[in-house]
């Protein structure tokens, strides 16, 4: 059989990081001391109190069977209680909240519950690539909403053509934002909710970084009155608790949409291991523990080391208010790919070219604060020697 990939796979954009990945592997293989600011994966271990809960949960035979469809009820209740504490919003843990195998799972499956072939999906660019891929897999037509410095890295909803808005059924938002680190103010969410109501669009607000903030906790879209009519919000334990490998998150939102997502899930997966949900429950209950606040302090130190260091060198960098990303303007006249390539070749520092996450990311690179402050300081020293 001559295998041909499905058209839906062929529709995905080319992977732009091949060359950089290759150069990075070659540098590591050659024994170079590479500082990797490329990956958005916490370098610290999961806090002990969560691991301890996992140990006891694995001993309980009840947890060895198929998980509940909508997730362990106590996990959902704990998540709902946290939602009320954190955002002042009451949600029904049985009807408006569902456990996810990481927020990526919910993002990837939601379009199957919402879109019919040909429906438009509004996707921010630059952005997390899953919004685009999941929309395509569900037969959707993607309309990109450019995020630019000029609009504060928020999509300009007024610039969406009337015909596109009319055919749109789904809009992805992601605040705090990967890769730009922007935070959406509540009035922007209010505007998005009004737009969604006007055009009959479901908003999927990806809040995977909602707890990675530095000074002020960012809002939830559900702090906008009436948002529950038109929105779901994806939450994740991955970054907050250094649990990327555990695969745990939850979706909060409109009851009918949560039920439809549950229906997609029950046909495609069997939920997350109950013991992981038990450990997650302990994590969420401990969201205000010093271990978690300590992570925030650690990232703040790293952020300031990178932002202050690069600013002193003359780079244009905004100090992020949230996420563990720093979105850095490339030197004048140098594009994303060239900047990334040269930082790797001449400083052994790995970054992500902004253009790889979508065309409007051209002229920027993304650095993740996933190495120790001393390594960041070392990276800055090396970058100082690269003559752009």
Chain contacts with ligand PLP (rule: CB under 6 A): 40, 102-104, 128, 174, 178, 206, 208, 236, 238, 244, 249
Work out the angle at residue 19's Cα, subtended by the Cα atoms of residues 17 and 24, and round it to the nearest 5 degrees.
90
Burial 140-159 (b: 16+ CB within 10 A, else e): bebbbbbbeeeeebbbebee
Give the nearest distance from C-beta 40 to ligand PLP in angstroms.
Answer: 5
Give the nearest distance from C-beta 369 to ligand PLP in angstroms.
Answer: 14
Closest to ligand PLP by CB, 100 or 379: 100
Give the nearest distance from C-beta 283 to ligand PLP in angstroms.
Answer: 13
Distance from chain centroid for Cα 167 = 26
Give the nearest distance from C-beta 126 to ligand PLP in angstroms.
Answer: 11
Over its C-alpha atoms, the chain yields an Rg (Å, rounded) of 21
| 276: three-class secondary structure by DSSP | helix
Closest to ligand PLP by CB, 121 or 238: 238
Give the nearest distance from C-beta 172 to ligand PLP in angstroms.
Answer: 10
| Strand pairing category for 120-125 and 141-146 | parallel
Beta-carbon contacts of residue 192 (< 8 Å; ≥ 6 apart): 157, 171, 173, 203, 221
Closest to ligand PLP by CB, 280 or 309: 280
Closest to ligand PLP by CB, 126 or 140: 126
Do residues 305 and 313 make contact, with C-beta atoms less than 8 angstroms apart?
A: no
Closest to ligand PLP by CB, 231 or 383: 231
What φ, ψ does residue 92 adopt, rounded to 5°?
A: -80, 115
Give the nearest distance from C-beta 51 to ligand PLP in angstroms.
Answer: 18
Beta-carbon contacts of residue 152 (< 8 Å; ≥ 6 apart): 182
């Amino acid at each position: 059989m001559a295998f041909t990939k499905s058209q839906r796979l062929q529709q995905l954009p080319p992977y732009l990081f091949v060359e950089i990945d290759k150069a990075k592997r070659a540098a590591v293989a050659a024994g170079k001391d590479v500082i990797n600011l490329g990956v958005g994966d916490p370098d610290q271990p999961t806090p002990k109190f969560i691991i301890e809960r996992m140990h006891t949960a694995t001993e309980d035979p009840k947890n060895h069977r198929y998980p509940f469809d909508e997730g362990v009820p106590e996990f959902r209740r704990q998540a709902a209680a946290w939602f009320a504490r954190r955002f002042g919003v009451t949600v029904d843990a049985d009807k408006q909240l569902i456990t996810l195998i990481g927020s990526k799972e919910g993002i990837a499956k939601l379009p199957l519950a919402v879109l019919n072939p040909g429906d438009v999906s509004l996707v921010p660019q630059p952005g997390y690539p899953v919004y685009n891929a999941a929309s395509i897999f569900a037969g959707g037509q993607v309309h990109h909403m450019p995020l630019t410095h000029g609009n504060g890295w928020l999509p300009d909803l007024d610039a969406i053509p009337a015909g596109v808005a009319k055919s749109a059924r789904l809009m992805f938002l992601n605040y705090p934002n990967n890769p730009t680190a922007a935070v959406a103010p509540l009035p922007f969410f209010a505007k998005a909710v009004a737009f969604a109501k006007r055009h009959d669009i479901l908003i999927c607000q990806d809040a995977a970084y909602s707890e990675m903030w530095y000074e002020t906790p960012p809002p939830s879209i559900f702090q906008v009155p009436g948002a529950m009519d038109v929105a779901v919000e994806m939450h994740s334990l991955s970054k907050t608790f250094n649990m990327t490998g555990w695969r745990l998150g939850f979706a909060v939102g409109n009851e009918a949409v949560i039920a439809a997502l549950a229906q997609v899930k029950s046909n495609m997966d069997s939920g997350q291991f109950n013991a992981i949900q038990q450990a997650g429950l302990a994590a969420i209950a401990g969201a205000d523990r010093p271990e978690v606040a300590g992570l925030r302090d650690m990232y703040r130190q790293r952020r300031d080391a990178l932002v202050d260091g690069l600013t002193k060198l003359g780079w244009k960098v905004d100090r992020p208010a949230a996420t563990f990303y720093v979105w850095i303007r490339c030197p004048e006249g140098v594009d994303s790919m060239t900047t990334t390539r040269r930082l790797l070749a001449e400083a052994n520092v790995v970054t992500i070219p902004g253009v790889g996450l979508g065309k409007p990311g051209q002229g920027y690179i993304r650095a993740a604060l996933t190495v120790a402050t001393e390594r960041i300081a070392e990276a800055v020293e090396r970058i100082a020697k690269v003559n752009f």
